Structure 1
Amino acid sequence: MKMHQRFLSIAFLLLVFIYSSLGLAATQTCDSYASLKRMEGQVQLVKVNSPFPVRNPELPYALCTGDLVQTVSKAQALIAHVGGEVVLAENSRLEVLDVDSLSLAEGAALFQISQREGHRFIAKTPLIVIGVKGTEFLVSSQTERNDVALFKGSVAVERQDGQEMAYYRTKPVSEMSFQEYSEYQQKSFTKYKSDLNQAFNDYKEQQMAEFQAYVAGVDLKAGRQLTLSGDSVKPEAVDVPISKTVEKLQQQLTSWLQ
């Protein structure tokens, strides 16, 4: 009987400790540079100092440095940052870094960044660093490749490891020879007829791209999309017009910025 009572007492104290810890984690304050403003579907928040995810947060919810926002399938989230706003697509994970930067660990996100005097916003992925001065762009982070599509403004893109990349750029039709244009049209017709996948689209674009130089960084132009390989031995960056798939995703995510 005494052992049973002792066990209950220990269990009670343990529960009190756990709930107290959760309460402290929930009420902790920090220098917040961002907040979760809106969410749809299952969105998980992981606080930097807590092993437990925050469920059903009251919005807007302040985010501290090191906090993670993660979406699952058919979920989206709108994060307000002092540098601008970010719409996180489904199956994505975003980390708050500091007053000037965010990190997309995986998935895709649409960034709408405002110009601030004396500040240069930085968007990161495990592979690349994107320097921004005020713009709208979409980033997709996958293990084998990263894509950066610039809709307006300007960004500079470089690798996290500082390696130089073989930079390729597609030619506009006005600069193609007749033979190149014929090959391009033939490949386009083949794609339309066969409904080929994204991997072949990338291959097709690379076939029509010309090697420019080995570069440490690329200044991307509006209306262009940069695909960077995850290869650490022979890294490449291919500069092409923004794809229809990316345009569709941008339109979907932009509706959250209205």
Structure 2
Amino acid sequence: MKAKSVFLGFIFSFVLSFAQEVGNIVKYKGSVKVYRENIIKPIQVLQENFPLVVKDIVKTKSRSTAYIKFIDGSKVVLTEKSSISIEDYQVVSADKGRVFFKIRKRGDLRGLKVKARSVVIGVKGTKFMVDLTDDSMNIFLKEGLITVRSLIGEFIRYKEKEISEFESFKEKELGEYEKYKKEMEEEYKEFVKEFQMEAGTAVSIKNGEVRNIKIPPEIEREFELLDRF
């Protein structure tokens, strides 16, 4: 058994030596696994400052958290039942669960890009969270500015005026309201390939439709996870 462990450690070190290191799992809680190219079985993280390389996939189990720091100083926190894929030094894919990002500004260089399902989020010095826990995707922007671009077709972006008009019309009869709602949707929606978000805003994306939502107090508090390492 000891010889087998030494052999596996040797293989791990050998593969790592030829890979491009991008950061570390600085600390973790619970069960965190790394799926690495050319290694059949997932690697159970058992130490702090666990090195991550290009093509790694990081997954957390129930009641588990992974705190990741990239070599440029950017931070990523995976809450429970979450996963990310590191496509290369410039691109990280949020695949599942709730993932927090604190991206360090890189001067005039192209900022880190975050992929999530069929969208790509252009980032340059910001703090935000992507929630993929159900069939919709929610993006909560705490600080900075991001650009959200569709990889497939265009977004149907609903404007704020449509929502406020709907709210003021709730006391009308249902049939009349539905007719009015349809007219308002046609008047106050636009088709866009990309859109920008500002600090303190949030959106929900489902079936290509983008609607503004609020940032819940519990999400506001969870952003503190990015300041714990």
In the superposition, the TM-score normalised over structure 2's length comes to: 0.80
Task: State which structure, 1 or 2, has the greater radius of gyration over its C-alpha atoms.
Answer: 1
Give runs of aligned pairs for residues 25-174 of structure 1, distance below 5 A: 25-28=12-15, 29=17, 30-83=19-72, 84-117=74-107, 118-142=109-133, 144-161=135-152, 163-171=153-161
Cα distance, 1:108 vs structure 2: 0.9
Letter matched to residue 197 of structure 2: L
2: distance between equivalents of 1:105 and 1:61?
A: 21
Query: Would the aligned equivalents of 2:161 and 2:188 in 1 still touch at CA under 8 Å?
Result: no
Q: Which consecutive unaligned segments of at least 5 residues does structure 1 have?
A: 1-15, 185-207
**Structure 1 residue 47, shift from structure 2 partner:** 1.5
Q: Output the CA distance in 1 between the equivalents of 2:162 and 2:127.
A: 23
Partners of 2:116 and 2:167 lie apart in 1 by 35
Could you report, residue by residue, the CA deviation over 1:167-220 in whole angstroms, capped at 9, with x for unpaired residues? 0133599xx57x945859xxxxxxxxxxxxxxxxxxxxxxx9983411111101
Q: CA deviation at 1:105?
A: 0.9
Q: Which string of whole-angstrom CA distances, capped at 9 and with x for unpartnered residues, describes residues 56-96 of structure 1?
A: 43321111111111101111010111340001111001111
In structure 2, which of residues 192, 210, 215 is the aligned counterpart of residue 215 of structure 1? 192
User: Aligned partners of 1:37, 1:91: CA distance in 2, in Å?
Assistant: 18
User: Is the Cα contact below 8 Å between 1:169 and 1:240 reproduced in 2?
Assistant: no
CA distance 1:171–1:224, shift in 2 (3 Å): farther
Cα distance change of structure 1 residues 17 and 152 upon mapping to structure 2, 3 Å threshold: closer
Q: Which runs of 5+ in 2 are unaligned?
A: 172-183
Quick check: 1:82–1:99 contact (8 Å CA) kept in 2?
no
- The amino acid across from 1:102 in the alignment is V
TM-score, structure 1 length as denominator?
0.72
- Tell whether the 8 Å contact from 2:31 to 2:44 is kept in structure 1 after alignment: no
Letter in 2 for 1:23: F
Change (3 A) 1:224 1:47: same
CA contact (8 A) 2:203 2:210 kept: yes
Distance 1:79 1:33 in 2: 10
Q: Give aligned pairs, total.
A: 212
What CA distance in whole angstroms lies between the structure 2 residues aligned with 1:35 and 1:211?
Answer: 45
Deviation at 1:25, TM superposition (A): 2.8
Which one has the bigger helix percentage?
1
Give the letter aligned to residue 133 of structure 1: K
1:23 equivalent in alignment to 2:13: no
Quick one: structure 1 residues 38 and 165, their matched pair in 2 at CA, closer, same or farther if it must change by over 3 Å? Answer: same
- Match among 223, 226, 240 for residue 213 of structure 2: 240
d(CA) in 2 for partners of 1:32, 1:19: 22
Q: Which amino acid aligns with 1:220?
A: M
RMSD after superposition: 3.0
Counterpart Cα distance in 1 of 2:216 and 2:161? 15
How many Å apart are 1:112 and its aligned residue? 0.4
Q: Percent identity?
A: 23
> Structure 1 143/242 Cα, relative in aligned 2: closer, same or farther at 3 Å?
closer
